[in-house]
Amino acid sequence: MKQTYYITTPIYYPSGNWHIGHCYTTVICDALARFHKLSGDDVFFLTGTDEHGQKVEKEALKRGITPREFIDPLVFELKDMWRLLDVEYDRFLRTTDEEHVACVQKIYQKLYESGDVYKSEYEGYYCTPCESFWTEAQLKDGKCPDCGREVVLQKEESYFFRLSKYAPALLEHYQKNPEFLQPKSRVNEMVNNFLKAGLQDLSISRTTVKWGVPLPFDPKHTAYVWIDALSNYISALGYGSDDDSLFRKYWPADLHMVGKEIVRFHAIIWPAVLMALGLPLPKQIYGHGWLLIGGEKLSKSKEAERPELTDPYELVKRYGADAVRYFLLREIPFGSDGEYTTERFLNRVNADLANDLGNLVSRTQAMIAQNFGNLPPRGAQEGTDGELIAVCEGAYGKVKAAMDALDAPAALSAIFALVSRANKYIDETTPWLLAKDPAKRERLGAVLYNLAEAVRIAAILLRPFLPRAAQAILQSFSCGESGFGALAFGTLAAGTPVTRIPPLFPRLDVKKELAAVAALNAKNASKTQSAPKVQSAPRPEKQEIDISDFEKVELKVGEVIACERVPKADKLLHETVRIGGETRSIVSGIAKYYTPEEMVGKRVVVVTNLKPVTLRGVLSEGMILCAEDENGGLALVSPERAMKSGGSVR
């Protein structure tokens, strides 16, 4: 029977300051989700955005725009980042989604009715960047003990959750379920510093923050953003709604993967809320470590002080999604912190991907092409063939054990042990010498068959980690769809067409790359210091028009930088369009004529001063122009020569 596997990432603050550290949690979850899907499990992989709260409210205010105008482009940018990194989630939840808001209200109502929520007054400190409350005694040198930034004294009427009541039950849960929180090192902190010290009731509503979910029993209060955010793990499954079939199927979650700084919210507050709701607790919470630069948590605010390339878009653009995924999954010892430098990244890519994997694939394919065309027959075993075959056959067990322990670096190390063994086999069997002797042709065929099988098996095992490279390798052996069911050595039939592919990971000149990165950072320094990458520009104060006022229509050249289908709307595509310095979300009825992949990179003409509308829950801030034929078929209108995005169309 299929097992269900429900895995979640934290939902991201729409800050726009994404760096490679942010990609860590989600790339790990994607590899785990892909591994379980390939294992035949029924997987639900959830991610999304945490959009309410004081931080967003303040940022929008600072820019003179609404919170919604502030967050929408950032949410699209985040989705774009996941697309670039080949992250394949099953649901992207926004805490501004109607169903989520309704679910949060249901949760508050339930807690209120059961007596676990009461009204009082909050007096204490608040850290806006962390959205967390602190008592004076908890502060470190008067600052937030988590992030070291300024806190503000807050005094306001608030509803409280009886967190203190759940300390004994939580303690018992920790004692009975040693797997509940991992790695073990995080348990001590939760149990000794928090649970045993006794919990205080938690302020869970704000009257001074307007950008939040109004409480159903007292709408001048909005929900505390952490309760709002944590609820996403069940609202995404329809908890409390008319259709809670997903909730019944997938809850409790198998794994909440989170960074170590937010373990406290997940391992204390969230289970207490679930207990109060009478719901089972997630099976496991994993608090992973951080990517560090110079021993400090990688963060965008320190960008100007360091010469490293940390921008995920730039990294993917220069080196490809697989290289970025590989570094994150292989280099950071799981559960611990790991240092990031561009040089380390480049060296890792060169050593493992360009040299070990890339060479193995290209040498094997080149020798098959030169000597046989298609795959030669398997032939008799001799020499070290048995050793190679044993490594191939034993690899899946090792990868599975590592992935069951959530240890992606160990899984990759098992796969690359296979790759190394195969490279050693080439040195041992010297196929280039066999090729010179016509009497050895049969042996040459057997050696190349064994190598092809080693490459194919490594590629299947690499699918969760390097989806693109794995797919390209498998396709070149005419078996693009192979899953874990095809791991047996000897599966490929003699005569299978083998096509040569261009180098998967061309060798990088580290010195040259570091110089290019330094130049790039210098160019970006002023930009990145002063403004987040994508910023919703304050809307110019101009009269919005109807389409009939054609003379007043403002038309501009835009570039489609991301595109996806609108769920449950077979005619609609949702494009992210760059128009000069601005990024817009646009919905168009062209899904019958263009695929999302075809749209990306297209130069289009956009009506930029149309009143924004929401179509099927997606914001549309403009219209992409199309020509229509007599049958209603649509074709995009594009400038005839390459024109810069943002240019006006007259």
Contacting positions for ligand MSP (CB under 6 A): 10-13, 21-22, 24-25, 50, 229-230, 232, 258-259, 261-262, 290-291, 297-298
Q: C-beta of 268: minimal distance to ligand MSP in Å?
A: 13
CB of 571 to ligand MSP, least distance (A): 33
Question: Residue with the closest Cβ to ligand MSP?
Answer: 259
Cβ proximity to ligand MSP: between 323 and 375 the closer is: 323
For ligand MSP, the closer CB: 50 or 308: 50
DSSP 383: T
Q: Which is nearer to ligand MSP, 337 or 554 (CB)?
A: 337
Rounded to an integer, what distance in angstroms lies between the CA atom of residue 160 and that of residue 20?
37
Q: Is 380 exposed, middle or buried (0-12, 13-18, 19+ CB in 10 A)?
A: exposed
| Cβ distance to ligand MSP smaller for residue 235 or 423 | 235
CB of 257 to ligand MSP, least distance (A): 7
Q: Considering the complex, what minimum distance in angstroms separates the CB of residue 371 from ligand MSP?
A: 47
Instruction: Between 17 and 362, name the residue whose CB sits nearer to ligand MSP.
Output: 17
Residue 21 burial (C-beta neighbours within 10 Å; 0-12, 13-18, 19+): buried
Least distance in Å: CB of 339 to ligand MSP?
Answer: 11
Distance CA 48, CA 232 (A): 9
CB atoms within 10 A of CB 114: 12
| Separation CA 284–CA 7 (nearest Å) | 10
**Sheet containing 214-215: which strands, arranged edge to edge?**
205-206, 218-223, 214-215
SS (H, E, C) 120-173: EEEEEEEECCCCEEECHHHCECCECCCCCCCCEEEEEEEEEECCHHHHHHHHHH
Burial class of 230 by CB neighbour count within 10 A (0 to 12, 13 to 18, 19+): buried
Distance in Å, CB of 334 to ligand MSP, minimum:
12
Smallest separation (angstroms) from ligand MSP to the CB of 82:
12
Nearer to ligand MSP, 74 or 191 (CB): 74
Q: Which is nearer to ligand MSP, 22 or 100 (CB)?
A: 22
- For the bound state, the minimum distance from the C-beta of residue 347 to ligand MSP, rounded and expressed in Å, comes to 20
Looking only at the bridges linking them, the beta strands covering 218-223 and 214-215 are: antiparallel
Q: Give CA–CA dist 326/631, Å, rounded.
A: 48
Based on CB atoms, which residue is closest to ligand MSP, 181 or 229? Answer: 229
Name the strand (E) or helix (H) holding 110. helix 98-113
Residue-wise DSSP of 10-23:
PPBP--S---HHHH
DSSP code per residue over 578-647: EETTEEEEEEES-TTT--HHHHTT-EEEEE-SBPPEEETTEEE-SEE-EEE-TTS-EEE---SS---TT-
Q: Residue 297 or 443: which CB sits closer to ligand MSP?
A: 297
CB of 146 to ligand MSP, least distance (A): 10
Q: Return the number of the residue (25 or 429) whose C-beta is nearest ligand MSP.
A: 25
Cβ proximity to ligand MSP: between 262 and 561 the closer is: 262
Q: List C-alpha distances in Å: 431 to 355, 358, 498.
A: 19, 18, 17
Report the distance separating Cα 211 and Cα 50, nearest Å.
12
Q: To the nearest whole angstrom, how small is the minimum distance from the Cβ of residue 291 to ligand MSP?
A: 4
- Nearest distance in Å: CB 281, ligand MSP: 15
Q: What is the DSSP track for 520-560?
A: HHHHHHHHHHHS-SS--PPPP----B-TT-GGG--EEEEEE
